[in-house]
Structure 1
Amino acid sequence: MTDLDPANRPGNNTHHLLIHSFSKHPDSPLLRLARRITDSGCNLEDARLSTLGGDIVVSARASGPWDAIAKLETMLSRLAREDGLQIHAHRTDSQSKLSNLLPYMVEVVAADRPGILLALADFFEGQGIALESVACSRYQAMQTGADMFSAQLTIGIPSDTHIAALRDDFLDFSDRMNLDAILDPIKF
């Protein structure tokens, strides 16, 4: 039997590839990545695009049978060589749905200083709470020109957590850190 023999192939289950690509603004790699994903026989399951400084960053997760994922990996290597994109891809597991996690949104605004995001991440990790997504930025206040920090975090709170106690602890933490912050459930 050869490696091409169907008996040697992994099961027909779905495989996943996590892709990160970087290019200079305004040359977005999203269209080129989406085209390669489709042309390989894979499905684009999830994608994020951000402009950070002078670069555009695309993070995407593709799925498909093992042979389509292998074809996509080859196509991405060729795309990186031919178009000069920086691409990193690796195989990953499917996204697990943890039904015992309650989705909450945290919003923070404060005078900018080093370590705010670190302190937020440390607080939630200490509570056993998963960070699902983070978006933060610096900006200047329109009225005063002061340097400001803003963050939006999506967190997954275990369902056995006492929400009122967590909210009290978070508000105490926010007061100590001099953060204007809220912790609210996400309403879908």
Structure 2
Amino acid sequence: MMCNWVGFYVPCSGINPLKSNPSIHSREGHMQTQLIVNLFGPMGTAHLADLLALIQQQQCHALDSHMLAFEQRMVLALRISGNWDRVTRAESVLREFAQRAGLDMHIHHEQKIAEREAVLPYVVDAIGLASADIAAVITRFFAQQKVGMRELSTRTYRPARSSERLIQMRAQIDIPARCHLGQFKSDFFDLCDNLNLDAARSRRMSESIKGSAVPSFTGTTTEGDQINETTYSGKWLVLYFYPRDNTPGCTTEAQDFQRLLPSFDEVNAVIVGVSNDDQASHARFCAKQGLTFPLIADTEQTVSRAFDVIREKKMYGKTFEGIERSTFLISPDGHVHAVWRKVKVPGHAEAVLATIREAGQS
């Protein structure tokens, strides 16, 4: 059996646990309600398209969706978010839809989002000869390591020109940020070795975070405000990391974002800068350059490591750790829409703005 370890993102070792705000705010500033919907019955692709259109018409967001077909029947799980009145209307519309389509439906309300521990999301893929206990053994290992599981899917099949049945498993897991990542990986591959599994250790791709939920983070701005991954829910968030205040490239980049700030406002986007400078340095930088968007003082590098932008650098014969200039575009529903690493400053702010506009037209 072969196991592939594929990371959404891999923070550097030594990441500190981050605190996250348990509430999710809409652009109006009210706490949003979440609706967990499970549907089962004779559904097809057309039904799914109609269902998602109904949710959008009620001005709600389908944060997560999972679909699985069994012969002529389909199982669908949705997590919907929106203001209380919009979610209430959506629930009524969904019940009518389910009744017309002859579907079984169960709905659960979540008005208070439980506080989450900072986690590192990963995907584990495994494939090999079909065995009834493969999923059980691996999930038991995750449970013993206190690793959360967001998604688990298994599929058995017989390849062409083969009499052996194979099983394919994919698990999306959340590794606690307090966990020693290197040790966890080592223990996982030891498990594979003990089970006579051929574990292939794949390397992280630089943009593997793209498309995944934004990593949990908390940062303090120049004004002392706390910003986390839910602060700007309902808006585009341009989170850009830069090496140091008042250096030529960083100054130009900040000036470019400031110059285009009215255009970003027009597309419902906010700008937040992050560096490892302290609040006093940020205050001087903002005053000198006339910056009106917030800067996070990431002196402990917790936010920087959560987004995997800390790199080893060399200057004047000395080696040190610092930020690699990077930008992350977070969608209004809290997913990483685009990633720019090793950013070249000229034209970068314009490119980010163009990406948001293009997304709005699609």
Tell me, in whole angstroms, the C-alpha distance in 2 between the residues paired with 1:158 and 1:21: 31
The alpha-carbon deviation at position 183 of structure 1 amounts to: 5.9
CA distance in 2, matches of 1:27, 1:164: 42
Residues 110 and 180 of structure 1 are in contact (CA less than 8 Å); yes or no, is this contact kept in structure 2?
Answer: no
Sort the Cα spacing of 1:75 and 1:25 in 2 relative to 1 into closer, same or farther, 3 A.
closer
Amino acid at match of 1:76: L
Q: Compute the displacement of 1:43 (Å).
A: 2.5
* Cα RMSD for the two superposed structures: 2.7
Measured in 1, the distance between the counterparts of 2:101 and 2:89 equals: 18
How many pairs are equivalent?
Answer: 178
Q: Give 1:136's aligned residue.
A: 154
- Which letter does structure 1 place at the counterpart of 2:120? L
TM-superposed CA distance for 1:54, in Å, is: 3.1
CA distance in 2, matches of 1:144, 1:82: 44
Matches within 5 A, 1:1-188: 12-24=30-42, 26=44, 28-92=46-110, 100-182=118-200, 187-188=208-209
Amino acid at match of 2:66: R
Deviation at 1:95?
6.8
Residue 6 of structure 1 corresponds to: none
Q: 2:192·2:198 contact (CA, 8 Å) conserved in 1?
A: yes
Secondary structure at 1:29's aligned position in 2? helix
Distance 1:145 1:94 in 2: 51
Indicate how the Cα distance of structure 1 residues 19 and 159 shifts in structure 2: closer, same or farther if over 3 A, else same: same
> Unaligned stretches of 5+ in structure 1?
1-10
**CA-to-partner distance for each residue in 1:47-94, whole Å, 9 max, x for gaps?**
222223432222212222212222222222222222212222211257
Structure 2 length-normalised TM: 0.44
Task: Give 3-state SS (helix, strand or coil) of 2:174's partner.
Answer: strand
Inter-CA distance 106–117: structure 2 relative to 1 (3 Å threshold): same
26 and 83 in structure 1: CA distance in 2 versus 1, 3 angstrom threshold: closer
| One-letter amino acid of the counterpart of residue 36, structure 1 | L
Q: Which has the higher strand share?
A: 1
Of structures 1 and 2, the larger Rg is shown by 2
From the superposition, tell whether residues 141 and 96 of structure 1 become closer, same or farther in structure 2 (CA, over 3 Å). Answer: farther
Deviates more, 1:149-158 or 1:89-98: 89-98
TM-score by length of 1: 0.79
Give the fraction of aligned pairs with identical amino acids, expressed as a percent: 24
How far apart are the structure 2 equivalents of 1:94 and 1:36?
24
